[in-house]
Structure formats: structure tokens, C-alpha cells
Amino acid sequence: MDYLVLTKVHGAILGPISQILGWILNILVEFTNSFGILNIGLSIILFTLVVKVLMFPLTIKQQKASKLMAVMQPELQAIQAKYKGKKDNDSMMKMNVETKAVYEKYGTSMTGGCLQLVIQMPILFALYRVIYCIPAYVMPVKEHFLNVVYALTGTSSVSSLTEGAAASLLQFATDHNIALTGVNPIGDLTGVSGEALANKMVDILYKLNPAQWGDLAQAFPGAASVIADNAATIEKMNTFLGINLSSNPFNGSFVPNLAWLIPILAGLTQYASTKLMMASQPKKNNEEDMGSQMMQSMNVTMPLMSVFFCFTFPAAIGIYWVASSAFQLLQQLIVNSYLNKVDMDELIRKNVEKANKKRAKKGLPPQKVNQNATASLKHMEAVAAKEEAERAEKIEKTKKQVEQANSYYNKNAKPGSLASKANMVARYNEKHNNK
């Protein structure tokens, strides 16, 4: 399969974000290294914690929007029911106008709940690239690969590297079936020199497994000692709890191994955090609600996808996934506690104030504050509780009817005996003859 190369990601959006995240990870690695601990797994966990803390305000804002959407839902559903089956242009325009009016009444917008997700997506994409390309962003890690590069080329700095210096390493990669394709093809070294060439060579070295490091030492006997020393250090810092972070948990064999714990934990923690997040939202009284059904389906599908991806991705990605879901669990407990104390009327009042300031700039009249948000929320919860109570009452009533029937037909006879069956027939005939 093709692998992503570790050369830094470029682009107007992902490039700067990756650079910032890589800078954070580099600081954390240097921090742990100052205590004599150079371990990528531990650094990824600390890195995940920092990223979660930085993104916490967005998480709060997103879930506020979700809770507000739940309060608005009865009004939005009423509009949808009003125009159900009407596909003409005039009806569609009226429905859009009325829907927009509801959003404005609550001081939000149709895209308000999605904005935070849009902001988070490039951060997550950049984050994955940083974890895939750790040596490109983390100098204490890259230094060990550069030591090997210098030993292979007989140079002492990246500035002296020329195109021909990487030819032997490139041939070694070809002979050992090391994939050289990906986002930035390693195979094209025409005109490449200096630091760019060093990065390409590190790209190749980063893909070697422990056995291939041994083959590399045999192929370059003059640099064997340097290769062996740095390979041992690389393997040590790339191993977390006995798991090699550069390899995939699924190695082609269906025999379970220690690395299988990563995708299993990723699925379980994500499922738990998703269930906890859903618990913070008001229950809807419409069991046929398509959005609700879709969310329930996603709550199962996403953890299963996490399991699949963590089996096929390098274990370093899985470590991030597990740590992210675990921190999400703790974070969600804090968010749920906070949201339970939020005054929805006050939240809506502030939203409307902000919206009215924007309307004033456009010369539009202000919207009135909706004072019934809390009442609407309580009504939704009360309706859901009432429906649950009615279901329980029906179950109990049916149970009593069955018990009464059994008591009637089994009177004066041992249950299950021939006499009870005879009584059942006799009493059945008695009841129906008296009608």
C-alpha cells in the first residue's frame, strides 16, 4: 500500500495549522526528553490533551447550539408539517421565510450549529498529518534519522547533500519493496538537494521496520554501527506499552496481538463519549424523527469505523484516537454539568442581542426575545416522560390481564396439570355460553 510521506504538509490552510500543531508537539517531546523520556506514544497523549483543551471553547459553543436547536425543533417541525407535500416554488419560498424567522427569533442561524464543525475539520486533518509525519515536525526525533543520513552519505550537514547522495538509499528502498509513492512522491529526486533531499531520505528511513533496519546495516557496512545505535533508539522511542507505533495492529494475520487493544479501546471510548454527549440533549417526543434515527445510527457506525481505521492505520494514529475519546469522555462530563446549569432564556436573550446589533447595522428592526424557551424545553421533557409513563402503564395493565386469565382458568387445579386444562376448556365454554 501507499504511505503518506513525512515531509511537512503544505497549503494555504492545512500548512499553517500543521505548523502550529507540530510546534506544540515538538515542545512536548522536548519537555519529556528533558526528563530522559523520549517516547512518541506519551508525547501523542500529552499532545491530544493540549489540543482538546484548546478546542474546548468550540465544543461548548457547538453543544449550546445543539441544545438550542432541540428547543426550536417543535416550531421547525410545525412549519415542515404545514408545507408537507407542497413542492411548488411559492410554498418552498414561504417555508424558507418562516423557518428563517424561527431562527432569528432565537438569535441563531441555520449554519450556526455547523460553523464549529467547519472550523474543527481543518484542525483535525492537519492534526492527523502531524502524527503521520512526526519526524518532520519534531526535531529530537528527526535528529536520529539525520544521524543515519549523514553516515550513509559521508556528510556532516544537510547543506552539503546532493542528488547523487540519495541514490544508494533509493536503490535499497526499491530492492526491499518500500513504497515510495504518496502525497509527495519520494522517487523523483531530480534537482533536489540540501534540506529538501535530507527530508526525502528521512521519508524513506521512517518507513523501515526493525528487520529492514538490520538489512540497511548489512547493505552499508561502513555505517553499520551508527545505523544500529540510532535504530535501537528509534525503536525504543517508537514503542509504547510494547506496541510499535509505526506498524498497523492488523499485520495480515488474524491471530490477536497486543496492538489489537488499540482499535478495541478506540471503539469503546468513542461509543461511550457519544452516548454521554447525546445524554446532554433534550429527549424528543417524536420517535419517528428522521434526524434522531440518523444520530442513533451514527452512534453505532462511527465507533465501528474507528475500530476499522485503527486496525489499518499506524498504531500512533490509534493512540491518538484512544486518547482523544478518553479525554472527550472527561470533557463531556464537564460540558454536561455546565449545560444543565445554563438558563436557556438567558442564552436566547444574549443571542438575540447579538443578532439585533447585526440587524441594526443593516437598518432592520430588532427581533423580540423569546421568553418561552425554558418552558418549551420543560414541555418536551414532560411529554417524553408522559409517553414513557403511558407505555409502562400499558405493560402493567397487560400483565395484570394475563395474570387474571391464568388465575381464572387454573382455579382449583394445579397449573399445567390435566385438570387445569380441563378447567380451562370448561370455563371457556362457560364464559362464551353466557354471552
pLDDT tens digits for range 266-318? 888 888 887 777 765 555 544 445 555 665 676 778 788 888 888 888 888 88
Q: Does 425 have pLDDT greater than 80?
A: no
Mean pLDDT along residues 93-112: 75
Percent of the chain with pLDDT over 90: 5
Q: What is the three-class DSSP state of 191?
A: coil
Q: Does 373 have pLDDT greater than 50?
A: no
What was the pLDDT predicted at 133?
79
What was the pLDDT predicted at 224?
92
What was the pLDDT predicted at 178?
77
Closest CA to 64 of 353, 363, 338, 400: 338
Q: Does 426 have pLDDT greater than 80?
A: no
**Buried b / exposed e along 295-325 (16+ C-beta atoms within 10 A):** eeeeeeeebeebbeebbebbbbbbbbbbbbb
More confident position, 29 or 412: 29
What was the pLDDT predicted at 5?
41
Q: Is 208 exposed, middle or buried (0-12, 13-18, 19+ CB in 10 A)?
A: buried
φ, ψ for residue 184 (rounded to 5)? -120, 100
**Buried b / exposed e along 69-105 (16+ C-beta atoms within 10 A):** bbbbbbbeeebeeebeeeeeeeeeeebeebbeebbbb
What was the pLDDT predicted at 419?
55
Mean pLDDT along residues 182-207: 71
Least confident of 188-202, 287-301, 327-341: 287-301
Mean pLDDT along residues 243-259: 80
**Buried b / exposed e along 245-281 (16+ C-beta atoms within 10 A):** bbebbbeeeeeeeebbbbbbbbbbbbbbbbebbeebb
What was the pLDDT predicted at 2?
35
Span 148-188, pLDDT tens digits: 998 888 888 777 777 677 788 888 888 888 766 554 445 56
Q: How far apart are CA 85 and CA 418, in angstroms?
A: 60
Least confident of 217-221, 241-245, 280-284: 280-284
Residue 230 banded pLDDT, cuts 50, 70, 90: very high
Q: Does 225 have pLDDT greater than 90?
A: yes
What was the pLDDT predicted at 131?
79
**DSSP string covering 267-298, please?**
HHHHHHHHHHHHHTSPPPS-TT-HHHHHHHHH
- The residues near 313 (Cβ < 8 Å, ≥ 6 apart) are 248
User: Would you state the cell numbers that stand for residue 238, as one nine-digit string?
Assistant: 517508537
What was the pLDDT predicted at 239?
86
Q: How far apart are CA 263 and CA 124, in angstroms?
A: 19
More confident position, 288 or 429: 429
Which uninterrupted H or E stretch holds 239? strand 239-240
**Quick check: 307 and 263 in contact, CB under 8 A?**
yes
pTM for the model stands at 0.66
Q: How far apart are CA 347 and CA 101, in angstroms?
A: 18
Q: What is the mean pLDDT of the chain?
A: 75
Please report how the helices 167-175 and 210-219 are oriented relative to each other, as an axis angle in degrees rounded to 10: 130
Strand partners, 240: 243
**Quick check: 266 and 273 in contact, CB under 8 A?**
no
**Buried b / exposed e along 168-192 (16+ C-beta atoms within 10 A):** ebbebbeeeebebebebebeebeeb
Q: How far apart are CA 371 and CA 226, in angstroms?
A: 73
Least confident of 9-13, 187-191, 247-251, 417-421: 417-421
Least confident of 78-82, 90-94, 131-135, 402-406: 402-406
Closest CA to 135 of 258, 290, 245: 245
More confident position, 374 or 221: 221
